[in-house]
Amino acid sequence: MTLARIEDRGDRLVVWNLNSARRGALSPDLYAAIIEACETARENRVKSVILASEGEYFCAGGDMNTLISRRELTEAERRDRIDGLHDVIRAVRTCPVPVIAAVRGGAAGAGLSLMLACDLIVAEAGASFVAAYVKIGLVPDGGMTASLARMLPRPLASEMCLLAKPVSAERMAAFGVVTLLVSAGSLEEGADTYADKLARGPRASRAAIKALLRNAYDESEARQLDAERDAMAKAQGGDEAGEGIRAFLDKRPPNFR
């Protein structure tokens, strides 16, 4: 039985986590589906990718049975397995279109890392997020420490990682981590709100913006200014800018299709 599938909706791809029996725990099927969707998103028709779960919980992180079996591997072999997760995180980060996390119930461990790698996060009220690693003597992976350090005050990030204290979707929304908080039963509608807006907008422009934002945390100001200059110079000569500027002058909505 496959534990993930890709639903192709034309201008958006939805990656469904089907591992509801284990609260959406990560699986090789999910890894493969996410990477495939991010590759398919290089086609011009695709404007967004949505990560969702068919169960009542977005993603509980690593499967405990898998973690137990890894104790029998060498440290080098364990690094290789962790690199599999990191390949997925890189695929989401470098995906040419925005990736939307649609979160019901919550996210834990590497599931939280996966959520934080997304560009936009829609969560149902009442969802809860926990960096659960320390509860079983492990440490964060999947870029979690980098994400939390950038998104939250250090004391709160420390509390999450050192004490595994759950944080509500409401509190995450207050910090801007959850970008859209929706009522129970409105999750898919909320994710589609973002996807609909992305479908109508300029694809190449957003791809360039995503790349600039991704690198802004690590680049010096001088290099980031150069990167913005190069991206702007390219955009100004592109078809999207031509249509957008003409539409503005004509006082009409732009047609980026």
In order of their start, the domains of the chain are: 4-200 (3.90.226.10), 203-250 (1.10.12)
For the stretch 41-61, pLDDT in tens is 999 999 999 999 999 999 999
Burial class (CB in 10 A: 0-12, 13-18, 19+), 59: buried
Q: Is the pTM of this model over 0.85?
A: yes
For the stretch 240-257, pLDDT in tens is 999 999 999 999 999 987
Taking the C-alpha atoms of residue 119 and residue 95, their distance in angstroms, rounded to an integer, is: 10
C-alpha gyration radius of the chain: 19
Judge contact between 240 and 252, C-beta under 8 A. no
For the stretch 168-222, pLDDT in tens is 999 999 999 999 999 999 999 999 999 999 999 999 999 999 999 999 988 999 9
Which pLDDT score is estimated for 82?
95
